[in-house]
Amino acid sequence: MPPYGGERSLAPVMLVCHQWRDIAVSTPDLWSTIKFTSEGVTRVETLLQRSKSVPVDIIVDRTPFPSTIEVLPPRQSRIRTLCLVDTPQSIVRGLLASLNGVGAPNLELLSIIYPDPSGTSLDAGLVPPLFADCVPRIRHLVVDVFSLPWTSSIFRGLTTLYIHREHNDVHPTSDVFLSVLESCPALEHLDLFHAGPILPSPTSSPDTATSTFAKRRVSLPHLECLVLEVGDLAQCMYTLSHMTLPSSAGLAFAIRAADGWETLDALRAVKHVIEQSCVALETDMSDVAGMSFTPNKTDAAALYTSVMIPFLSGPFLSLRFTNLSHTNIKWFPKFGLIHSELDMPLPSWLLVEMNGDGMLTVEEWKEGLRGWPALDHLVVIDANYGILVEALDPVTSCVCEDCSKGDLICPKLRKFGILRSRPHDNTTRNADTEMLQHLASCLKHRFERGSKLHQLSYRHVEVKRAPLKKYARDVVELTLPDDLLAPGEGEQDRFARYPSVVKDAVRCLIF
C-alpha cells in the first residue's frame, strides 16, 4: 500500500461511530504513514503503536520535534520509506548517524530533498557506514543538497538514483561509478545534477575535450530515463561514456557552454552529443528521425537553446545549452552549417518552437531553412507566421525582376504545420486572416514551381480550407493530446522535479 497520509484520510472515518473507529484503530496498515512534525512525540508514538509490526513510511518535515532522533532507531527494522523534506541538515546528519548501528531490512526508499533550496548550505554530510551497510531491499535513492558515500551499500540494487548537488569531496572515481552501475542492473531512472564521476583532466574546448571517455561501459538494459546536468560538454560526455543504454531510453542533457563559444563551436558540440548518444544507444546517425528546435530562451544576459532529437528506434535526446552569448551564437540561421561544414546528415523533418517570439526576420528564416534542402516535414509553433510565410514564398522573397527565378526554399517540403499552443484570441485571429491570404498566395507560387504540399496541418489557427486545398492535397486540423495541465499551486508544485516515487511518498504534504 503506498503511503497516503493516513491521519488526514482517516479522521472523517473515525468520527462516524465507535465501531468504525475501533475497526480503523485496530487495522495496522491504515497507520503506516507517519509524519514527524513539531507537534511532539506523543502523536507519533500513538501512530507507531497503531501500526503494530507492519512496515512504516516515515516523513520528517522541516520542523521535527527535538527527540526525533531518539524515536526512530528502535523501529528501524520496520521503516519502508524514509523521506526527509526540508529537514535541517544537522538533524539529517544526526538522524542518519543514529540509524547506523543496525540494518534496515525493509527500507525501499530513502529521500533527502530540499524543494526550496534557497538558503540551504551544501554539506558533505558523510555518515558511513549507512544503516550498517545492510539495506537489502533498497530500490530508490533520492538525495538533494546532501552527500552520501558512493561506496555505501545503499547504492546497490537501485531502480531510481537521483543525486543533485553533492559535495565536491564525494564525487566517485570512474571505477566506483562503474561499480555502482554494475550493482544496479535494474536501474530505470538516473538523474545527476552536479554529481557523479569527475573528468580526470577537464577542459572546455569542444575540439579537445571530447577525447576522454571511461575505460569501459556498463549495460543498463532497463533504463528508461537518463538526465545529466553535470557541467560542460566534456564532463557530460565523460559521464555518458560509462553506460550502454537500451534503444528505448530517453536522454536529457543540460550542458554549460564554454565562454567565448562561437556558432560553429556550438554546432560542433551538438554533433558530438548526438554521435556519443548514438554510441551509448548502440545505433548510428541514420537512426535520427527528426529535430525539434527552440532557437532562444532568454533570462537576463543568458541564452538557453534547446534541441530535441527523436530516433526512429524509439528514444529521444533532449539537449539544452546554457551560458551562451547573445552576440556570438546565431543558432537557427546558421544551423545548416552542421551539415555543410561538419558533415552531419540532417533529418527530413524539423519542428521549430518560437514561444511566441518574433525574433527571426524573413532573411534569418530563409538562411536557416536553406540549410535543410531535403526537408520533408516542417512544423512551427507559436511563431510570427506572416514572416515565415514570406520567407517560404518564392515570389515575395525574390529580389530580381524575373520572379520565375525566385528563391524556392525547401523545394522537397511535403508537410507543413502551423500550430499555436493555446486557443486563438482576437489579436491572433486578425493576424491569421492576413497570414492565410499570404499563405494561399505562397502555396500557389510554390505549386507553380513544382512544389505541392501533401498536407497542411494546423492547430488553434482559424483556417478556411477551401482556398488552400487547391495547393495542398490535405488541409487537416492537427490532433494532439490535450495540453498538459498547468502546475498546481502551493506545495504540489514544489515537488514537480522529483521522481514519481518521491511524490507518491510525500502525498500527505501535497494534498
Where the chain has pLDDT below 70, the residues are: 1-13, 118-128, 201-211, 295-304, 325-328, 355-358, 396-406, 424, 426-427, 479-493, 510-511
Helix residue spans in 210-340 (DSSP H)? 233-240, 263-280, 331-334, 337-340
Query: What is the phi/psi pair of residue 507, to 5°?
Result: -60, -30
Chain segment 272-297, per-residue pLDDT in tens: 999 999 999 999 988 998 888 876 55
Spatial neighbors of 302 by CB under 8 A, at least 6 apart, are: 322, 323, 324
Which cell numbers in the block locate residue 22?
A: 475501533
pTM of the model: 0.86
Evaluate whether 55 touches 106 at the Cβ level (below 8 Å).
yes
Q: Counting beta carbons within 10 angstroms of the beta carbon of residue 207, is it exposed (0 to 12), middle (13 to 18) or buried (19 or more)?
A: exposed
Which among 320, 313, 197, 340 has a CA at the least distance from the CA of 269?
320
β-pair partners for 343 = none
pLDDT of residue 493: 62
3-class SS of residue 396: coil
Task: Tell me the C-alpha to C-alpha distance, in Å, between residue 388 and each of 48, 265, 412.
Answer: 65, 27, 17
Residue-range domain boundaries for the chain: 198-346, 348-480
Q: What is the spatial distance between Cα 167 and Cα 149, in angstroms, rounded to a whole number?
A: 10
Q: Amino acid identity, residue 427?
A: T
Residue holding cell 564525487? 171
The helix or strand, by DSSP H or E, that contains position 70, with its residue range, turns out to be helix 68-71
Q: How many CA atoms lie within 13 A of 367 on its CB side?
A: 12
Instruction: Give the containing element (helix H, strand E) for 226.
Output: strand 225-231
Q: Which helix (H) or strand (E) holds 23?
A: helix 18-25
Q: Please report how many Cα atoms fall inside a 13 Å half-sphere around the Cα of residue 412, on the Cβ side.
A: 12
The span from the CA of 370 to the CA of 364, in Å, is 10
Give first-to-last CA distance, the chain, whole Å.
17
For 214-241, what is each residue's pLDDT tens digit? 999 999 999 999 999 999 999 999 999 9
Beta-bridge partners for 83: 59, 111
